[in-house]
Amino acid sequence: MLALSVVALSLALALLTLAFLRTTDLLALGDVPLLSLSIISGALGCVALYIGTVRLSRFVLSALLQGRRKQLIDLMTDHMQQANGLRLVALGGGSGLPSVLRAFKGQTSNITAIVTVADDGGSTGILREEFGVLAPGDLRQNIAALADDESLITQLFQYRFTTGGLQGHSFGNLFLTALADITGSMDRAVIEASQVLAIRGRVLPATLQNVQLGAEVRTAERRLRRVIGESRIPKEGGTIERVFLVPESARAYPDSIRAILSAELIVIGPGSLFTSILPTLLVDGIVQAVRASNALVIYVCNIATQKGETEGFGVAEHVLALERHIGQGVFDVILANNAYPQQNAGENTHYVAPLPLDHPLRYRYDLIETDLTDPQRPWRHSPEKLQRAIRNLLAERALHAEIIRDT
């Protein structure tokens, strides 16, 4: 049909040109004037073009829309909105960072998650030791967070074996490890896995170097013990004084730096303070890029304390620990929870205490306190509440900037 439309439209154009080139009247071609033939041919071409385009589009899109619940117009609208959405960079790892990604993946496709690769526990630790790859665990969790939650392949990516020789291993970890071997590097493996799951946004490692996390832990006997290994740190049972990377000179992944410098919004956390957030920020070049960025930088404080890391910590202790490691003024806003529900919390949930009213940190940063708890798991952040709080903050900032411009 498309080929027929090209022939018909070409004939119409030729006849119309011939008609107007005649110096006398429109000499009849048989009993039908050239102009009439041109109109008939043009109409036929337009009809053929319409039918061919519609049928070809349906043929191509039917494969792409298979299994989709939304209509094509809704998918196109969503795609346009997300393509023009906020340039967001989220920093951290663990189980906290996916809350930010799930909160915004429906609003923008310009999301970049920059993830720690210092994890060495469980399946990740075994794969690191046996295959010498970058830690795949946090990369896997955040790739899955940006994918379609209801997709079967996303569920497969998160599947963890419970029996046999693969017990404890996540399919996604094995998949990324195999891809890293095929492609030659974990960053290429992450790109290929992201395409397989058709994620909205990007997931990038903080560094491509094989780093370990170390800590100086103050024991109950007041001795300072040096511990190497992310999975070992929470088990020491003391107070974490400082964490560091081995090697400390590990350089940031260049694409991660570029993403930070071009961001409009940077979200740090939530996540394990000493074993997820700081290992990302301690990579050489990450904090420098955050300081150089023109983005609004928000630190999302944890809702509950974490055994072996932040027992007894309030909002103040979280922020002061960050400042000891990366200095003051890296972020602009502290976003903290102020709701402490008991339903579904369980006896092991200990909420992070709010920032005291007279604390100096209130004068150093903007503080936003609101309910961020997930009703089913109140020790974790609700993606919906998190998105609402950040959206309200951005709207207030935009309104304030507009008022300043008008005055």
Q: Which of 289, 273, 366 is nearest to 89 (CA)?
A: 289
Angle between helices 122-131 and 137-146 (to 10 degrees): 120
For residues 212 and 117, give the distance between their C-alpha atoms in angstroms, rounded to a whole number.
8
Mention every residue, 6+ apart, whose C-beta is less than 8 A from residue 406: none
> Is residue 71 in a domain?
no
Are residue 33 and residue 169 in the same domain, yes or no?
no
Cβ(206)–Cβ(138) under 8 Å? no
Same domain for 36 and 95? no
Whose tokens are 């590097």? That residue is 185
Pick from 59, 22, 62, 19: nearest CA to 41: 19
Final residue in a domain of this structure, among 38, 65, 92: 65
DSSP state for residue 178 in the 8-state scheme:
H
The residue segments making up the domain with residue 138 are 79-406
Termini Cα distance of the chain: 61
Both 52 and 186 in one domain: the answer is no
Per-residue pLDDT tens digits of the chain, which is 407 residues long: 778 888 888 888 887 777 766 645 544 444 456 667 777 888 888 888 888 888 887 777 765 555 555 565 665 555 555 556 889 999 998 888 999 999 998 888 899 999 999 999 888 999 998 998 999 999 999 999 998 876 788 888 889 998 888 888 999 999 999 999 999 999 999 999 998 888 889 999 999 999 999 999 998 888 899 999 999 999 888 899 999 999 999 999 999 999 999 999 999 999 999 999 999 999 999 999 999 999 999 999 999 999 999 999 999 999 999 999 999 999 999 999 999 999 998 888 999 999 999 999 999 999 999 999 999 999 999 999 999 999 999 999 888 777 877 77
In the chain, how many domains are there?
A: 2
Q: Does a structural domain hold residue 310?
A: yes
Residues 328 and 402 in one domain: yes
pLDDT value of residue 28: 47
Query: How many residues appear in the chain?
Result: 407
Does a structural domain hold residue 74? no
Q: What pLDDT does 242 receive? A: 95
Q: Is residue 183 part of a domain?
A: yes
Cβ proximity of 353 and 315 under 8 Å: yes
Q: Which of 24, 43, 65 is the last residue of a domain?
A: 65
- The model's pTM is 0.81
The reply to whether 95 and 46 lie within a common domain is no
Same domain? For 185 and 134 the reply is yes
Q: How many CB atoms lie within 10 A of CB 206?
A: 30
Q: Which two tokens stand for residue 76?
A: 């196109």
Instruction: Output the CA torsion sign for 269, 308, 249, 94.
Output: negative
3-state secondary structure of 400: helix
Instruction: Note the pLDDT of residue 82.
Output: 54
Report the amino acid identity of residue 203.
Answer: V
Residue 250: C-alpha distances to residues 49, 116, 260, 317 (Å): 58, 12, 17, 27
Same domain flag for 167 and 257 = yes
Do residues 57 and 85 both lie within one domain?
A: no
Q: Per the domain annotation, does 362 fall within a domain?
A: yes
Whether residues 58 and 187 fall in one domain? no
**Looking at residue 365, which CATH number applies to its domain?**
3.40.50.10680
| Structural domain contains residue 15 | yes
Cis? peptide before 360, omega within 30° of 0: no
Instruction: Confirm whether 383 is domain-assigned.
Output: yes
Q: Which amino acid does the sequence have at 29?
A: L
pLDDT at 50: 87
30 and 132 both lie in a single domain: no
pLDDT of residue 153: 81
Instruction: Give backbone dihedrals phi and psi of 4, rounded to 5 degrees, phi first.
Output: -60, -40
Residues 51 and 176 in one domain: no
Considering the domain architecture, whether residues 123 and 194 belong to the same structural domain is answered as: yes
Which residues on adjacent β-strands are paired with residue 214? 228, 244
305 found inside a domain: yes
Contact call for residues 190 and 210 (beta carbons, < 8 A): no
Biggest distance spanned by C-alpha atoms of the chain: 112
Query: Which helix (H) or strand (E) element contains residue 265?
Result: strand 265-268
pLDDT of residue 78: 56
Instruction: Give CA–CA dist 229/123, Å, rounded.
Output: 14
